[in-house]
Amino acid sequence: MSIATGLPDHALSYRLPELRSPSFIEFPTGPACRFCAARRGIVEPVTIYRDSYAKLCLRHRVWVGGDNLDTQVDVSALPELTNAQRRHRNLVRHRPGYAEFVYTTAERIVSGWTARRLWGESRDRRLFTLFGDEPARFPRDSTEFNIANYPEIVSLTSILISYHWITKAVSPERTPEDLRQFYAEVRHRLGIDIGRDGFVDQHDPLTVWVEKQQHNLERNHYQRDHTQPLRQRTTPTTWQEVG
């Protein structure tokens, strides 16, 4: 197979996880970057196994996170996307499995913001840069929005994956000051105006998610031992999906 594909053995086993682990069942697949394929003389669409974080071809600055070649958009005009891809890769390498789970949560929250047309300044700017049209033209979960939201999804992932920051938001001993610091960090890293002056919209998708985790944590804690005060600081282990 190494001869047929022109790839060295170690590269093949990386791309074909079954060669490494016969019991491996699922691994994400998607189209290879068309420019990378073209360099090898392949012009037809090629489906490859890819890393869960692989949204961009860093060599060609092309979005490869979609399902087909039509979604392979040139994103070289937006260097923050390249930066986000590197940060995303580092998160997954440091916390494999868990990072993917947290990313999915962050993705749902940002998708909720998109649906409610919240915090859209960077999103609209990127859509305009890449597609030059009104954002309302694109469906909520389209590739266009996935691309335009990517830096915020990665930034939110990096906050929610951090023990320091998640325990500011969700903890049996959480104080109003903890929450204020959490939202200040989100505001700072995502460049959005959430939680300014201590005001948080109770219908904001991030707030809804945070309060749901807090509710579940307190309920579970109480069910374990309702005679003890809620003193122990713990990381939420039973995250719920965003509704």
130 near Zn ion (CB under 5 A): no
Closer by beta carbon to Zn ion, 33 or else 160: 33
Number of neighbours of residue 87 by Cβ within 10 angstroms: 16
- Selected binder of Zn ion within 30, 33, 75, 153 (CB under 5 A): 33
Q: Give the residue carrying structure tokens 């002056």.
A: 197
At its nearest, how many Å lie between Zn ion and the CB of residue 131?
A: 21
Task: Please list every residue from 176 through 205 that binds Zn ion, using CB under 5 A.
Answer: none
Q: How far is the CB of 54 from Zn ion (least distance, A)?
A: 11
Total interface residues for Zn ion by CB under 5 A: 6
Pick the binder of Zn ion from 14, 16, 60, 142 (CB under 5 A).
60
User: Whose Cβ is closer to Zn ion: residue 57's or residue 206's?
Assistant: 57
57 makes contact with Zn ion (CB under 5 A): yes
By the rule CB under 5 A, 36 interacts with Zn ion: yes
Q: Of 60 and 189, which CB lies nearer to Zn ion in the complex structure?
A: 60
